[in-house]
Amino acid sequence: MKTREVYMKTSIIIWACNQLQYLAQTIVSIRNYTEQESYELIVVDDHSTDGTAEWLSQQPDLKIITNETGRGYTDGCNQAIAKAAGETIVLLESDVIVTQHWLDNLTACLYSEPYIGAVAPVTNYGGYAQAVPVSYQSIDEMHSYAQKYNLSNPSCWEERIKLAGFCLMIKKAVIDSVGPFDEIFSSGYLADDDYSFRIRTSGHKLMLCRDTFVHHNGAPPAGPVDYRDMLSKFAAKWGFNPVYSATIRQDIVNLIENPKTQSLTVLEIGCACGATLMKIKDGYPKAKLYGIELNEKAALSAKLFAEVIAADIENTILPYPEEYFDYVILADVLEHLGNPWQALENIKAYIKPGGQILASIPNIMHFSVLRNLLQGYWTYEEAGILDKTHLRFFTLYEIDKMFQNTGYKVNACCPNFIYETAADQQFILALTGISGNNRLMEECRAYQYIVKACKPAAVLPPIRPAEGLNRNKICFVTCENDDNFYRFCLSHIRDLEIPEGYEVEILSIKDSVSMASAYNQAICKSDAKYKVYLHQDVFIINKNLIRDILQIFENPEIGMIGVAGSAQVPANGIWWEANCNYGKVFDSHKGYMGLVAFQDVEGEYQEVQCIDGLLMITQYDLPWREDLFNGWHFYDTSQSMEFIKAGYKVVIPRQQQPWCIHDCGITGLTNGYHDYRRVFVDTYLKTDV
């Protein structure tokens, strides 16, 4: 990668109008944290009346453009760009404080690829999901924070469909190609949106540098801004609303729980400009992304990186193979359809068994609607629950019924809330008190529901009779989505000692919708009596593993063996929080490799209630409950319970040394984890009183 020194000077442009106290801070920070010979600083004083002109005249290192009348933000930027000598342009708002390495980091990203046109940092205060949480209390603390934060790291660069303009670095060659800023956005509002879309339309990419932080004071605009007028002008130019059509639905993205290296297939219906699809692309680089968007102009943006068609979902025969998608996203879409029930029916054919619908649906029982209704009002609005384009309205009960009646299983339905005043809360309490409905308080606080509903597997796989299994075959089954891990896993399997008269089969299941689905596929594909289910990041170091498990399985009452687990699953379903755990494994879940050892097993083995899914070995085929656990969590504790329910023992053997290494690294628990935990508890741990 080229360094900053390779390039000519950067032209930093600041448009200023009557905010001298912020402007002075900004310029001081540039001087302190930017190499002196690497930049020129151009300040456009747009008819300030607060002493800005006098102060600027005393700064010998600045290029100053003074406007005798206010010409606006975009005109001022264009004036400065025309006089800029640098091959890189930075548009910096006058209330931004730059930090150590800011310019070098941004430049490294901008010139890392020829097709990157513009880049921007993250901040403490900003729009379009470019703000990160901070805890500093002073500017000195901020600089200490930024010094640790600003470590150049290409893995922290994220492609975006637009960038906020508080600190925007653009190649001068791209500006020459795209043209000047559009002066209809004179206040600056939506000027960055407009230019972002123009840059992408020209064939260039926009990158958010999550390895670079600057401080943004968030000063009020220099003058009045007619936001509605700017939105109207943008819509007239581009054919869509930039606020609605470029929103990243992080709450929807968070519902995707698959391994980051997996090749997912995702369809977003109502994808607009593709902001959410691009966020999925960032987290799942192997994902195949598809979209359907009614607005042809918005669809053009998403088409730049995804397979997108402009169509009406209710009047289109979908051009996809059946059972193709892992996820179908319907974010604020179903309420716009004349027949959402039929749409869900139609979509189902294109979803894999175990695949999921991810949807957001407004709640018509929200207190704001109920309060107005009690006053006799049902007034349609430009946006919100009573958006004038909404055709259907749903309560929590009706949402659940709609998915159930169309053949889906609702795995989770979580509320989103908005701000409530004290008066709002008093109204909610009063309404709850007279309703006699204990659930009303929660339901009328929910602004919308985020739904995760799966297409159930048609049936659990038929079980091959025991006499049809090969008693001399051991099958090693792995759900594979990372070539590097799997190769290492495979090399350890091939190093195992194979007892005379036995054979080993290796079965890799790729791109499965869930662990349970992958393992059910293995049951159908392999006739081996003994099956070793292991994660791709598990490396077996006990070379006598096959001999050891065959010896334990001489007891026909033993159905499954693991290396770590619990004799009693606690009431919350999280086995490792119990105080009666057994087994040992080398594990890296704390960020470094170390021995994780529970209680020692004193006999040949310890009977337990569940084992961890990192390594699960069976001598009988029982179907994995993909009808309940169509994700990546609790399939293991569920299968342990299923074996016990079938009358078999689940055991952990005595290990002098751990049988395996689990190189999982630090892994967070996704939203899906807690959804499946509730399913596990409801299915296996709750008893009738």
DSSP 67-112: ESS---HHHHHHHHHHH---SEEEEE-TTEE--TTHHHHHHHHHTS
Query: Residue holding tokens 């006598």?
Result: 544
The two structure tokens encoding residue 25: 């801070």
Query: Residue holding tokens 């010896």?
Result: 551
Answer with the one of 238, 261, 279 that is the final residue of a domain: 238
The two structure tokens encoding residue 63: 């290029």
CATH of the domain at 187: 3.90.550.10
One domain, residues 428 and 480: no
Residues of the chain with pLDDT under 70: 1-8, 458-463, 671, 687-689
Residue 490: HSE in the Cβ half-sphere, 13 Å Cα cutoff: 13
One domain, residues 230 and 284: no
One domain, residues 308 and 214: no
- d(CA 36, CA 380) in angstroms, rounded, equals 57
List CB contacts of 684: < 8 A, sequence separation 6 or more.
569, 573, 637, 638, 641
One domain, residues 512 and 638: yes
> Which pLDDT belongs to residue 2?
47
Q: How far is CA 19 from the centre of its chain?
A: 38
Decide if 322 is inside a domain.
yes
Decide if 244 is inside a domain.
no
> Which pLDDT belongs to residue 462?
67
pLDDT digits (tens, 9 = 90+) for 197-248: 999 999 999 999 999 999 999 888 877 889 999 999 999 999 999 999 999 9
Q: What is the DSSP letter of 19?
A: -
Model's pTM, two decimal places? 0.84
CB 162 within 8 A of CB 190: no
One domain, residues 414 and 445: yes
User: What is the H or E stretch that residue 5 is in?
Assistant: none
Q: What is the DSSP letter of 591?
A: S
439 SS3 class: coil
Count Cβ atoms below 10 Å from residue 574 Cβ, excluding itself.
17
Count Cβ atoms below 10 Å from residue 223 Cβ, excluding itself.
13
Count how many domains the chain has: 3
Q: How far is CA 12 from the centre of its chain?
A: 33
Nearest residue to 86 (alpha-carbon basis) of 42, 127, 23: 42
Would strands 88-92 and 167-171 be described as parallel, antiparallel, or unpaired?
A: antiparallel
Nearest residue to 482 (alpha-carbon basis) of 617, 658, 665, 611: 665
Decide if 460 is inside a domain.
no
Decide if 136 is inside a domain.
yes
Domain that holds residue 305: 250-454
With 0-12 / 13-18 / 19 or more C-beta atoms within 10 angstroms meaning exposed / middle / buried, residue 320 is middle
One domain, residues 634 and 503: yes
- d(CA 85, CA 88) in angstroms, rounded, equals 9
- d(CA 253, CA 83) in angstroms, rounded, equals 43
User: What is the H or E stretch that residue 245 is in?
Assistant: helix 242-245
pLDDT digits (tens, 9 = 90+) for 401-455: 999 999 999 989 999 999 999 999 999 999 988 887 878 999 999 999 999 999 9
